[in-house]
Amino acid sequence: MTQTLRLGIAGLGTVGASVLRMVARRAEALEAATGRTIAVTAVSARDRSRDRGVDLSGLHWFDDPVELARSSEIDVFVELVGGSDGAAKQAVEAALGAGKHVVTANKALLAHHGAALARTAEEHGVALAYEASVAGGIPVIKAIREGLSGNAISRVYGILNGTCNYILSRMEAEGLTFEACLKDAQALGYAEADPTFDVEGFDTAHKLAILTSLAFGVEIDAEGVSVEGISAIQPLDLTMADELGYRIKLLGVAQQTAAGIEQRVHPTMVPKASAIAQVMGVTNAVTVDADAVGELTLIGPGAGGAATASAVVADIADVALGLARPTFGQPVPRLASPRRVEMQRHEGGYYIRLTVHDRTGVAAGVATRMAEANISIESIVQRRSAKAASSDPQGLSGQPVPLVLITYAATEGNVREALAAIDRDGLLAEAPQLIRIERE
Amino acid sequence: MTQTLRLGIAGLGTVGASVLRMVARRAEALEAATGRTIAVTAVSARDRSRDRGVDLSGLHWFDDPVELARSSEIDVFVELVGGSDGAAKQAVEAALGAGKHVVTANKALLAHHGAALARTAEEHGVALAYEASVAGGIPVIKAIREGLSGNAISRVYGILNGTCNYILSRMEAEGLTFEACLKDAQALGYAEADPTFDVEGFDTAHKLAILTSLAFGVEIDAEGVSVEGISAIQPLDLTMADELGYRIKLLGVAQQTAAGIEQRVHPTMVPKASAIAQVMGVTNAVTVDADAVGELTLIGPGAGGAATASAVVADIADVALGLARPTFGQPVPRLASPRRVEMQRHEGGYYIRLTVHDRTGVAAGVATRMAEANISIESIVQRRSAKAASSDPQGLSGQPVPLVLITYAATEGNVREALAAIDRDGLLAEAPQLIRIERE
């Protein structure tokens, strides 16, 4: 009989409490799967007196997570503290340095210090496991790193933030504004009091940076991600998307191009019939384009205590089996430096919603500027409201009206150039809206 | 430097040739991921002279796969011969007995002899890996066995046969008959000359039996699967499904119930908005319902040389890492005997299409018999063709017309009993059509 695998958990919020319960509940199954007994022996959290609904008796309590990380009483340090620096980073470094395996759900830590931590883990021959850091309960790290090891990957993209997908789903279904849906998401606990990190795309960017490293064999480059959130999306954009055969999702996209690796987070039009367009509410999804399998899509819960704990426990089971794979699929010294591609060079279809003065010749003026920038228009929709049409049947008032264009593949640089020219021409009553289109 | 992992491949059809090419093309990446050089050293196939578009020079050729399996020149035996018995079984037994790892794509072999082979593998401390046997390039074995090890699974279901999904997708999109679509599928190479194994559901049943074992920790019980194919599905059923908010898919479903484990393969009505309903053509999909993650869905290619080779190579990489997990997630002696549940005891919604004589009182007669069997009707649609309505406006001719019922949850036994009573009453002009409904 091999020895018990002793876990120390730092951070006893929803996820930590779920991990504690799951390790106890699945003890027999985990022992059958791994051949080892797995048990939590020590914990650390800020407030010892708080009732978390789990029995902590018999567990060694540490006030300091760094002390827990170094403790000789544990074999695996489970980091659920959060934050890219501070206690989480110190504790993980301490654990790896002491030759202990680390299992973490901390995407910010990985995104900012992933390569350095992986190097430490590999030097000490221990695992740094992070399935829970991306897409919660979806085993996407495992699928890419292990399930697709025979493939060269050309693109990976996904819905990686449940808060944003919840807000966009409700805006679409009920015609509500971003602000109204955000308020509901906050009331339901799907969004933080300060929602910036989620709704402006930074959370998605962290997760995307991790996937990029795995998929393309490069060092994590979180600063290389171009980030745009969903706060500027208006109900009219969702209506127009629907009419044109699309849905709007906040996607993280990492794509190998001739110029290098694009990493971008932005609201995206996806074809309504695509698998990813069906993903509603707080659910996450990841699609991988790979040379042998073609397209692989995984859909599941991206957050929540139990789903995240599921990923943490899967990592613990892998550690129990005694396997230390290279953290990012290959040893850190073999990871390449990613060649960044500026967003200006991105090429794809664009949805452009202009608010123009309703005057003769405006559409022609817009079309001319687009042609000058070498942009081909796939469709164009100009529509006045019924009210405006009845009060001003000849269109003499010059009231602002929406003019929506869908382009064929164009570069972001050319699109920006055309929009600047249109603005200089004085055709715009408001700043233009621009949403990228992602094809399957 | 560790030694090269030497592969012997038996069977050089589309998949075998793809594996050969992939191992060569991905040599550097696989070495980076596993820390070992991986190379094919020997092969076996029926016809040595055939041109397979791959270079076999330098490889040891064996006419007999069993001899290859026993050869001291290989560490891993890759079985791509196929068939549940005969050469494939002999060769796999020989390889395991000689202490060699086995990687196989052979679902029939696993379905019929999986537990016995797994026992042999475990006794010899070697791996028996079979990711390619279910859902081709989708890493579903890995996802269930490793990614969900913290979860108790209550149901697993999926589209596991590309031929059937291709036929149903085309029947739906173009209003064609089963026979016409089958002919096209055969012309395109999606269906065999003798399509029985695919279209009557046996292929799906083999794959389901493997998933059942993994998901529920029981011995494989292929004989316990209730199997019904798609050859009786008519264009009218697809039209009615569409009107009622469903699509028809051939699903394999394994479900834990109070009475035991249901294993069933049958045409199934799935809600149009579900992820699995979006899966068209030869694509496969698997959904797992588990206590911690809720619902997890994986969508990808179910067949094809490259996609299947991708799964084979992922298994090879796992073997190279030196890990021998229990074949079905836990050692064979710990697997329970599955408690079978007769199909009569299945409880769910039903689509029932009757062809009745168009006479007064028929609908009432049908409704009475359903009520007597304790079946509640959710919706009922009776519709005469425009032609019949114009030639016989009073409905005096008693011509056969369709009468479609959707039931609330009912047991299969009660449904069968009601249909028998309706038949005895002489209300039916044709045998009834019955399609089970699967809710998310």
| Residue B332 and residue B344 in contact, taking contact as beta carbons nearer than 8 Å | no
pLDDT mean across residues, chain A: 94
Q: Classify domain B5-133 by CATH architecture.
A: 3-Layer(aba) Sandwich (3.40)
Does the pLDDT of residue A274 top 90, yes or no? Answer: no
CA distance B19 to chain A (A): 9
Residues of A serving a catalytic function are 207
CA distance B252 to chain A (A): 19
pLDDT above 70 as % of chain B? 97
pLDDT, tens only, B217-238? 999 999 999 999 999 999 999 9
- Choose the closest CB to B137 out of A273, A296, A313: A296
CB contact under 8 A, A26 and B150: yes
pLDDT class of B395 with cuts at 50, 70, 90: low
CB contact under 8 A, A314 and B29: no
| pLDDT value at residue A5 | 98
Residue keyed to tokens 């221990």: A126
State phi, psi for B319 to the nearest 5 degrees. Answer: -60, -40
pLDDT, tens only, A152-204? 999 999 999 999 999 999 999 999 999 999 999 999 988 889 999 999 999 99
What is the C-alpha to C-alpha distance for residues A52 and A17, in angstroms, rounded to an integer? 7
Q: What is the mean pLDDT of residues B298-326?
A: 93
Nearest 5 degrees, angle CA A60-CA A61-CA A67? 100
- Choose the closest CB to B149 out of A30, A291, A322: A30
CB contact under 8 A, A146 and B318: yes
CATH 3.40.190.10, applies to B145-301: no
- Choose the closest CB to A310 out of B148, B311, B331: B148
Residue in chain B closest to A288 (alpha carbons) equals: B300
pLDDT mean across residues, chain B: 94
Higher pLDDT, B133 or B389: B133
- Choose the closest CB to A150 out of B22, B152, B301: B22
For chain A, give every domain's residue range: 5-133, 145-301, 345-437
- List the catalytic residue out of B89, B100, B107, B207: B207
Q: What is the rounded (10 degree) CA torsion for A201, A202, A204, A210?
A: 150
| Residue A9 and residue A20 in contact, taking contact as beta carbons nearer than 8 Å | yes
CB contact under 8 A, A331 and B306: no
What is the C-alpha to C-alpha distance for residues A250 and A287, in angstroms, rounded to an integer? 14
Contacts of B22 in chain A (CB under 8 A): 150, 292
CB contact under 8 A, A139 and B148: yes
Tokens of A299: 């859909």
Residue keyed to tokens 């044709």: B430
CATH of domain A345-437: 3.30.70.260
Contacts of A299 in chain B (CB under 8 A): 275, 296-299
Contacts of A297 in chain B (CB under 8 A): 297-300
- Choose the closest CB to A275 out of B138, B275, B329: B275
CB contact under 8 A, A150 and B30: yes
**SS (HEC) of chain B:** CCCCEEEEEECCCHHHHHHHHHHHHCHHHHHHHHCCCEEEEEEECCCCCCCCCCCCCCCEEECCHHHHHHCCCCCEEEECCCCCCHHHHHHHHHHHHCCCEEEECCHHHHHHHHHHHHHHHHHCCCCEECHHHCCCCCCHHHHHHHHCCCCCEEEEEEECCHHHHHHHHHHHHHCCCHHHHHHHHHHCCCCCCCCHHHHCCHHHHHHHHHHHHHHHCECCCHHHCEECCCCCCCHHHHHHHHHHCEEEEEEEEEEEECCEEEEEEEEEEEECCCHHHHCCCCEEEEEEEECCCEEEEEEEECCCHHHHHHHHHHHHHHHHCCCCCCCCCCCHHHCECCCECCHHHCEEEEEEEEEEECCCCHHHHHHHHHHHCCCCEEEEEECCCHHHHHHCCCCCCCCEEEEEEEECCEEHHHHHHHHHHHHHCCCECCCCEEEEECCC
A with B: how many residue pairs have Cβ under 8 Å apart?
A: 193
CA distance A331 to chain B (A): 7
Does the pLDDT of residue B309 top 60, yes or no? Answer: yes
Chosen from A22, A214, A286, A310 to mutate, greatest number of chain B CBs within 10 A: A310
CA distance A52 to chain B (A): 18
pLDDT, tens only, A90-124? 999 999 999 999 999 999 999 999 999 999 999 99
CB contact under 8 A, A148 and B131: no
Tokens of A106: 């901390």
pLDDT, tens only, B406-421? 999 999 999 999 999 9
Residue in chain B closest to A304 (alpha carbons) equals: B293
Residue in chain A closest to B139 (alpha carbons) equals: A147
pLDDT, tens only, A47-96? 888 988 899 999 999 999 999 999 999 999 999 999 999 999 999 999 99
Q: What is the mean pLDDT of residues B153-174?
A: 97
